[in-house]
């Protein structure tokens, strides 16, 4: 990649002292591990909308589809102030070319899901979305988003990071003159990655690319981007990955010896049963790809969709 991936992030997760009590919520995975590959664009809705730090705490109340943001002690409804700032801020963020956003969980401004919202009896229900997070997700419906709590889950973490790396590669593809040839090249390299998320999208994207002459180039790229981002929202699973691994085996039919084929089948089976992590069969396939210089597979992003140092495929 030519440049680092740009990612929006709730500022308190970077260690900025912007919380209601003047503290922060530094997340070392985000700043340390991920920070090596990412350039962050910090956003603190409550400070940037003018509430200062330290400040009175706030909460959500009312209808989860149109929540109100209210200060907890003085009961001031500050929703409109937050919305006015939020709409301006997302318009500004368009210039940043973000590949995703990591929100602070549970926050009435920044939480992307399951934020406490008080119902009409004053009881909290985990049905809310933070006011700024909602504005952001409606403005950028295709961008990958996660919160720092969910990123502790291995699968969600892998999926999110795979999505932001893929989106970055796509943006690099877009940075040059759009042509059918470029799209075919991008698609060819990402076929198996798409297949590992959604077989249905694999088929429809393949059809779109095969019939690419039927559509003006701009519309073709827009349609492809929509399908790509939609596909990445489907999580990979052991079953889907095992199908892709098995599919790859087909490309080696004539080259692998009977022993090598047997070994690979056994390792795929161990992966399917949860005995070994995905990195094990993928490493073996990468080994054969090099050994036999398999031309189609050596171009497949699926075999190394993100830096190996992130160890995202090392969990069984
Ligand atoms: S959760 Fe959001 S509003 Fe609260 S301190 Fe962090 S960035 Fe600011």
DSSP string, 96-112: GT-S-EEEPTT-TTT--
Mean pLDDT, residues 78-87 taken together: 98
Among 109, 111, 112, 135, the mutation site with the greatest number of ligand 1 atoms within 8 A of its Cβ is: 109
Q: What percent of the chain stands above pLDDT 70? A: 99
Note the pTM of the prediction, 2 decimals. 0.94
| Residue 151 φ/ψ, nearest 5 degrees | -70, -10
Summarised one tens digit per residue, pLDDT across range 170-212 is: 999 998 899 999 999 999 999 999 999 999 999 999 999 999 9
More confident residue, 65 or 161: 161
User: pLDDT value at position 3?
Assistant: 85
- Tell me what the mean pLDDT of segment 234-263 comes to: 95
- Output the CA 122–ligand 1 centroid distance in Å: 23
Pocket of ligand 1 (CB under 6 A): 10-12, 18-19, 44-47, 104, 107, 109-110
Cα of 107 from ligand 1 centre, angstroms: 7
SS3 278: coil
Question: Which one-letter DSSP state was computed for residue 26?
Answer: -
Q: Which atom number of ligand 1 is nearest to the Cα of residue 111? A: 1
CA distance 263 to 242: 15
DSSP three-state, residue 2: coil
Query: Span 37-54, mean pLDDT?
Result: 98
Cα(17) to ligand 1 centroid in Å equals: 10
Residue 241 has pLDDT above 80, yes or no: yes
Count other C-beta atoms under 10 Å from residue 59's C-beta.
Answer: 17
**CA pair distance 306, 316, nearest whole angstrom:** 18
Nearest residue (CA) to ligand 1, atom 5: 19
> What mean pLDDT is reported for the chain?
96
CA of 42, closest atom in ligand 1: 7
CA distance 298 to 288: 10
Q: In ligand 1, which atom is closest to the CA atom of 12?
A: 6
The band of 142, judged by pLDDT with boundaries at 50, 70 and 90, is very high
Q: What are the backbone angles phi and psi of residue 114, rounded to the nearest 5°?
A: 50, 40
Mean pLDDT on 127-140: 97
Examine the pLDDT at 105 and tell me if it is beyond 70: yes
User: What is the Å distance from ligand 1's center to 118 Cα?
Assistant: 19
Q: What is the DSSP-derived secondary structure letter of residue 39?
A: E
CA 314 to ligand 1 center in whole angstroms: 32
Three-state secondary-structure class, residue 69: strand
- Give one DSSP letter per residue of 133-157, joined into a string: HHHHHHHSTTS-EEETTGGGSHHHH
Q: Is the pLDDT of residue 80 over 70?
A: yes
* 19 CA → ligand 1 middle, Å: 6
Question: H helices within the chain, ranges in order?
Answer: 28, 45-46, 79-93, 131-139, 154-174, 180-197, 199-210, 217-233, 238-249, 258-272, 279-292
Q: Is the pLDDT of residue 107 over 70?
A: yes
Per-residue pLDDT of 151-171, as tens digits, reads 999 999 999 999 999 999 999
Predicted confidence (pLDDT) at residue 1 exceeds the cutoff of 80? no
Stretch 301-312: mean pLDDT: 94
Task: For residues 273-292, give the mean pLDDT.
Answer: 97
Residue 316: pLDDT above 90?
no
Res. 244: pLDDT tops 80? yes
Identify whether the C-beta of residue 18 lies closer than 8 Å to the C-beta of residue 24.
yes
Model confidence at 147: pLDDT above 90: yes
Task: Note the pLDDT of residue 2.
Answer: 66
Using DSSP bridges, classify how beta strands 5-10 and 38-43 pair: parallel, antiparallel or unpaired. Answer: parallel
| Helices 180-197/154-174 angle, 10° precision | 170
Query: Which residues lie below 8 Å from residue 308, measured CB to CB, with a gap of 6+?
Result: none
Q: Which residue has the higher pLDDT, 70 or 2?
A: 70
Residue 267: which of 255, 259, 275 has the closest Cα?
Answer: 275
Q: Which candidate, 108, 105, 84, 18, places its Cα nearest to that of 55?
A: 18
Task: Determine the distance separating the centroid of ligand 1 and the alpha carbon of 140, expressed in angstroms.
Answer: 19
Q: How far apart are CA 206 and CA 109, in angstroms?
A: 40
**pLDDT level of residue 65 (50, 70, 90 thresholds):** confident
**CA pair distance 80, 131, nearest whole angstrom:** 10
């Amino acid at each position: 990649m030519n440049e680092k991936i740009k990612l929006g992030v709730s500022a308190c997760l970077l260690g900025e002292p912007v919380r209601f009590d003047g503290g922060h919520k530094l997340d070392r995975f985000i700043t340390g591990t991920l920070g090596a590959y990412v350039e962050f664009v910090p956003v603190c809705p409550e400070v940037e909308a003018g509430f200062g730090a330290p400040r009175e705490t706030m909460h959500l109340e009312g209808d989860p589809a149109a929540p109100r943001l209210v200060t907890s002690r003085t009961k001031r409804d500050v929703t409109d102030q937050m919305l006015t700032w939020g709409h301006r801020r997302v318009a500004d963020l368009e210039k940043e070319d973000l590949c995703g956003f990591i929100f602070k969980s549970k926050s009435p401004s920044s939480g992307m899901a399951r934020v406490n919202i008080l119902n009409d009896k004053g009881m909290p229900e985990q049905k809310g979305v933070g006011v700024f997070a909602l504005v952001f997700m409606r403005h950028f419906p295709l961008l990958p988003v996660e919160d720092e709590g969910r990123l502790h889950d291995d699968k969600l973490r892998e999926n999110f990071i795979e999505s932001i790396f893929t989106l970055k590669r796509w943006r690099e593809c877009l940075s040059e003159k759009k042509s059918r040839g470029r799209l075919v090249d991008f698609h060819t390299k990402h076929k198996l990655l798409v297949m590992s998320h959604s077989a249905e999208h694999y088929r429809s994207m393949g059809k779109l690319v095969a019939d690419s002459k039927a559509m003006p180039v701009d519309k073709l790229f827009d349609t492809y981007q929509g399908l790509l981002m939609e596909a990445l929202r489907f999580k990979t699973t052991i079953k889907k990955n095992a199908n892709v691994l098995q599919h790859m085996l087909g490309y080696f039919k004539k080259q692998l010896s009977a022993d090598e084929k047997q070994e690979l089948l056994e390792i795929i089976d161990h992966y399917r049963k949860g005995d070994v992590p995905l990195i094990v069969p993928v490493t073996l396939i990468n080994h054969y790809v090099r050994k036999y210089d398999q031309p189609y597979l050596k171009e497949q992003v699926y075999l190394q969709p993100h830096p190996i140092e992130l160890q995202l495929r090392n969990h069984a």
